[in-house]
Every structure is written in C-alpha cells, then in structure tokens.
C-alpha cells in the first residue's frame, strides 16, 4: 500500500485487530502516535515488560498507547515475530555492517507520518479476506494478498489455509497478486498463474538473511522491468483499484 499509487477506492484489511488498530491510529492521531514513539527509548527492559503483557493478551485502553506498544514490538522483537515473545533486538558489535536496531526506531515517527499521509482516504477494515474478496470483486478490482508465508505461519497470530486462498482467487473476476517466499506445494501451478521472483532481505527469513520472494499473478505482467509491487500495479491494464 505504501509503495503503490493511489486508486479511486482503496481498502486495507487484516484479520489481526492490532494491525488494524495501528493503521487506524496512525491515520487518525499521527501527531500523538509519533510523539509517543519519539519519547519511547529503544529499551530491552521495556521490550520484556511490554512483550510479556502483550502476549498475555493485555492491551492498553488508550488507543495511542496500544498502537505505540504494538509498533515498538515490531521493531524490538527478534526476527519480527508476531505470534509469541522473542528476544530483544540488541545491538551487536560483531555485526559487520553495524547494528541499526536503535537507529531504525529513531525513524519511527517519520514512518508514522508517511503512513498517515498514505492512508488518508483508505478504508481500514478488520475481516476475513474471503468476506472482503466477495464484497469488492469486480473486473476492475486488484486484490493484493500478503498471506502468512508457507511454513512460517507460526510467525503470525492467524494461521493460513493456502489451498482455500488459491481456490478463492481462481473464482474472482478481478486481478489477483499474492506474495510468498516458498510456494505451498501443489498450488499455483496451472497455466492461469504467472510467477515473478526476486531475492530480497526479509525479516521472515531471519535477521539480515535473504529469501526468494515471489509474486503470483492471475494476469500476464506487461513489463519486464525489475519488479517492485509498484511496477506490477502499474502493469495492470487499468491501474487497478488495489485492496
Ligand atoms: C505476511 S503478514 C502480512 C502483513 C502486512 N501485509 C505487512 O506487510 O506488514 C500476513 C498477515 O495476514 C493476516 N491474516 C491471516 N489470515 C487472515 C485472514 N483469514 N484474513 C485476513 N487477514 C489474515 C495476518 O494477521 C498477518 O498480518
């Protein structure tokens, strides 16, 4: 969403209510959320305390604090784990490139401002993807789906039925783009699917490691430029109303 050009109608959906809370608060109260992040140190003690509370199911009543703590844990959880507590992303003097964990957190307020600006005019919803696909399907709709990665499903708090996702997308009138690292075996192998690959540094692969990222499309990409999510959406014949 952050990289694609605006479309007339845009919907962002995730079944995880914390994800949706973050994007809603970033859009509605960006200054308060940015300030909360600016004055929160990248602290191992805070990480331990907040991760224990969060994974015990506790959520702050205040929406800015709720979004802020969730966002902090995205930066502080080792390997970006969402499903359960992992270690604090400590700085390491042995890291060849030099650790950037604390410095990355310094940039959080700026990221919030970018999210707030991009999410103006975007509907943020919190439903199962099947309900959203059914409601918004049309020949002009582009669905971008970023499901839990195959065999990395435990990183997330929502599991995934990859076969049902493929089946759902086989039945739509609109365009579908699905991202995966490893493809679920036996899926997306018919002629109607086109696969574009590149190697990326990815948090799901572990800190600083690379993974092959695949975009699976139910339409022929009309460009062979080095692909990004943005160029693929540009490649849609109508520019697309992306979800
Ligand atoms: C790979 S993550 C993508 C996260 C997000 N797109 C991002 O870039 O940060 C997979 C997401 O799928 C969501 N998810 C899992 N099952 C879902 C479902 N049935 N309907 C909607 N979202 C679902 C999870 O909550 C998780 O946030």
Kindly report the CATH number assigned to the domain that includes residue 140: 3.40.50
145 and 217: one domain?
A: yes
Instruction: State the pLDDT at residue 83.
Output: 82
Task: For residue 129, give the nearest of 24, 228, 30, 16 by alpha carbon.
Answer: 16
CATH code (residue 76)? 1.10.1020
Instruction: State the pLDDT at residue 97.
Output: 67
In contact, 178 and 145? CB cutoff 8 Å: yes
- Looking at the domain assignment, is residue 7 inside a domain? no
Pairing type for strands 123-125 and 11-13 reads: parallel
Q: Which residues have CB under 8 Å from 161's CB, separation 6+?
A: none
45 and 70: one domain?
A: yes
131 and 227: one domain?
A: yes
154 Cα–ligand 1 center, Å: 12
Tell me the backbone φ, ψ of residue 4, rounded to 5 degrees. Answer: -95, 150
Beta bridge partners of 124: 12
- 12: number of CA atoms within 13 Å, CB side? 21
Which residue, by CA, sits nearest to atom 25 of ligand 1? 16
- Looking at the domain assignment, is residue 70 inside a domain? yes
Instruction: State the pLDDT at residue 96.
Output: 67
108 and 181: one domain?
A: no
228 and 150: one domain?
A: yes
Instruction: State the pLDDT at residue 99.
Output: 80
Q: Is the dihedral of CA 81, 86, 92, 96 positive or negative?
A: negative
Which one of 15, 70, 77 would you pick to mutate in the ligand 1 pocket, going by the greatest count of ligand atoms within 8 A of its CB?
A: 15
Ligand 1 pocket residues where CB is under 6 Å:
13-16, 19, 128-129, 146-149, 156, 158, 160
Which residue, by CA, sits nearest to atom 15 of ligand 1? 158
User: H or E segment at 35?
Assistant: helix 30-38
- Looking at the domain assignment, is residue 85 inside a domain? yes
Tens digit of pLDDT at every position of the chain (243 positions): 888 899 999 999 999 999 999 999 999 999 999 999 999 999 999 999 999 999 999 999 999 999 999 999 999 998 777 888 999 999 887 776 668 899 999 999 999 999 999 999 999 999 999 999 999 999 999 999 999 988 766 666 556 799 999 999 999 999 999 999 999 999 999 999 999 998 876 555 455 667 788 999 999 987 544 444 444 444 444 444 445
Instruction: State the pLDDT at residue 130.
Output: 97
Instruction: State the pLDDT at residue 98.
Output: 64
226 and 136: one domain?
A: yes
146 and 200: one domain?
A: yes
Number of residues that make up the chain: 243
58 and 143: one domain?
A: no
69 Cα–ligand 1 center, Å: 19
Write out the residue range of the structural domain in which residue 153 sits. Answer: 127-242
């Amino acid at each position: 969403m952050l990289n694609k050009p605006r479309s007339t109608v845009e919907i962002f959906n995730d079944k995880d209510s914390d994800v949706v809370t973050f994007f809603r608060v970033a859009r509605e109260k960006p200054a308060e959320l940015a300030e909360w992040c600016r004055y929160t140190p990248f602290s191992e003690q805070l990480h331990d305390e907040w991760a224990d509370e969060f994974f015990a199911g506790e959520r702050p009543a205040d929406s800015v604090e709720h979004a802020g703590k969730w966002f902090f844990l995205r930066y502080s959880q080792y390997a970006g784990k969402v499903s359960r507590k992992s270690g604090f992303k400590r700085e390491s003097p042995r890291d060849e490139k030099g650790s950037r964990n604390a410095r990355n957190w310094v940039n959080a307020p700026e990221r919030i401002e970018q999210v707030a600006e991009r999410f103006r005019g975007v509907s943020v919803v919190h439903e199962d993807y099947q309900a959203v696909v059914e409601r918004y399907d049309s020949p002009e709709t582009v669905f971008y789906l970023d499901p839990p990665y195959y065999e990395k499903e435990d990183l997330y708090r929502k599991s995934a039925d990859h076969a049902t996702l493929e089946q759902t997308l086989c039945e739509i009138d609109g365009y579908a783009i699905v991202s995966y690292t490893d493809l679920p075996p036996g899926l997306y192998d018919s002629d109607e699917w086109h696969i574009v690959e590149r190697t990326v540094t990815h948090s799901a692969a572990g800190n600083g490691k690379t993974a092959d990222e695949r975009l699976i499309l139910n339409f022929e990409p009309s460009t062979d430029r080095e692909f990004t999510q943005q160029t693929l959406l540009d490649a849609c014949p109508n520019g697309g109303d992306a979800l």
